[in-house]
Amino acid sequence: MENFDLNVLYNALLGYAPKVLGAILVIIIGFWVANRIAKMLDKNFRKANLDEDLRPFLITLITVLLKVLVFFSAAGIVGIETASFVALLAAAGFAIGMALQGTLGHFAAGVLILFFKPYRTGDFIVAQGYAGSVKEIQIFNTILTTLDNRIIIVPNGAIMSGPIENLTSPGQRKVDLTFGISYGDDIDKARSVIDSVIQAND
């Protein structure tokens, strides 16, 4: 009986081995092709002067979708029914979505930022108490570089939930500076020195 069970198991493994190997090959080759397509699209998007903020978002989204299709193809080769598999993934996705409502909110906020463009890469913004130049707009986060060269990662949902001050958009910015001089100093000379320093650093 034990030998019979082992033989049955052995034959079953032999029967599934080609399918499993085929699925693994499909995943390896499919992921490689997906990455190649992503690189090709990135190159074409750059040539077409696609918006610098929208380009990485689209590349990431397309790459994920292609890899999901590859995964479904591999599942079909093994013999998993796609319909039941999709239903299972939908249920799991719903459960994960309920657990990650904040993350999905950041994703939705990222889409809004990319399409309505309250700020772009390179803009200097103030949001949620942070001030810095926008280094990158990602799907879930916006990366800022502060004046003292710190990297701040702010969730997109947090940024869109409050006021955003874009200091780059108007093109010019007013800065109030206070200079103290004594009563005995020459005001005209002080003003001339200040103007010369400003002109030299304009």
| 110-127 exposure pattern, b = at least 16 Cβ within 10 A, e = fewer | beebbeeebbbeebbbeb
* 12 lies in the same domain as 92: yes
Tokens (6 digits) for 89: 């993934």
* 86 lies in the same domain as 56: yes
When mean pLDDT is compared across 27-31, 136-140, 164-168, the lowest value belongs to 136-140
pLDDT tens for each residue of 1-27: 445 566 666 666 666 777 778 888 988
Summarize the confidence of residues 95-113 as an average pLDDT: 69
Residue 143: give the domain boundaries. 117-166
Under the banding of pLDDT at 50, 70 and 90, the label for residue 101 is: low
Residue 183 counted as domain residue: no
* 95 lies in the same domain as 122: no
Residue 7 counted as domain residue: yes
**Final residue in a domain of this structure, among 73, 99, 125:** 99
**CATH code of the domain covering residue 89:** 1.10.287.1260
* 89 lies in the same domain as 17: yes
- DSSP E strands in the chain: the ranges are 124-127, 130-137, 141-145, 151-155, 164-166
* 40 lies in the same domain as 122: no
Identify the residue with better confidence: 146 or 177. 146
pLDDT above 70 covers a percentage of the chain that reads: 77
pLDDT at residue 103 in the model: 67
Number of domains into which the chain is organized: 2
pLDDT tens for each residue of 43-67: 887 877 777 777 777 888 888 888 8
